[in-house]
Structure 1
Amino acid sequence: MEETIKAVGYARFSSSMQREESITAQKRYMMMYAKRNNMEVIDWYCDEAKSAKTVNRPAFQKMINDAKNNPEFKAVLVHKTDRFSRNLSDSIQYKKLLEEYGVQVIFVNERFEDNPESHLLYHIMGSVNQFYNENLAREVMKGLKENAYQCKFTGGRPPLGYDVDKDLKLVINEKEAEAVRLIFEMSAEGYGYGETIDKLNILGYKTKKGLPFVKNSLYEILRNEKYKGTYIFNRSCSANSLNKRNNHRRKPEEEIIRIENGCPAIVSSGLWHRANAVKKATRSSYTNAKNTYLLTGLIHCGECGGKFHGNVRYNKNNTNLVYRCSSKKNKRKCESKEIRCEYLDSFVIDKFVEFFFNDDNIKVITKQLNEQYNKSCISDLEYNEAKSTLKILEKSRNNLVEAIAKTGINDIMSDKIKEYEEQIKKTAEFIQKYEKQKVDRVITEDEIREQINHLKDYFYNPKNIIRTKYVLSQYIDRIDISNENVQVQFKVSMSPSGNTDGDYFCVHTEMIKRKYLFDYVCEKVDFEQWNIEKLNKSESEHRKGA
Structure 2
Amino acid sequence: MNTGAIYARVSTEDQATGGTSLGTQVQKAMLKAQELGWNVPEGYIITEDHSGKDLHRPGLKKALELARSRSITGIIFFTLDRLYRPDQPGDEWRVFEVLQRFQDQGVKVEWVDASISSREGPFSGVMMYLDSWRAGEERRKIIERTVRGKKARASEGRMPQGTGKGIFGYDYDVITKTRRINEAQASTVRQLFDWTTQGYSIHGMAKKLNGDGIQAFSGGRWHPLTIRRIVTNSVYAGQSFYGRTQRVVDKDGKSHVRETPRSQWIEMPGVTPAIITDDKFQAAQAALGGTKRRVFSEPRKNLLSGYIHCGVCGHRLTGSVLKQKYAYYYCRNNWERYGHTCSQGYVKAPELEARIWQTVGDILQNPDLILSEMRRSHNQSLPHLDETESKLKKESASLAEQEKRLVRLYALGEVNEMFILQETRTLKTRQDAAQRHLEEIRKQRLQIMSLLDSQARITEACQLVSANLARLTFDQKRLALEAIKTEVWVYPDRVELRGKLPTSSLTIARTSASQHGRSCQFQPASVHRGMRVR
Q: TM-score, normalised by structure 2?
A: 0.49
Structure with higher Rg: it is 1
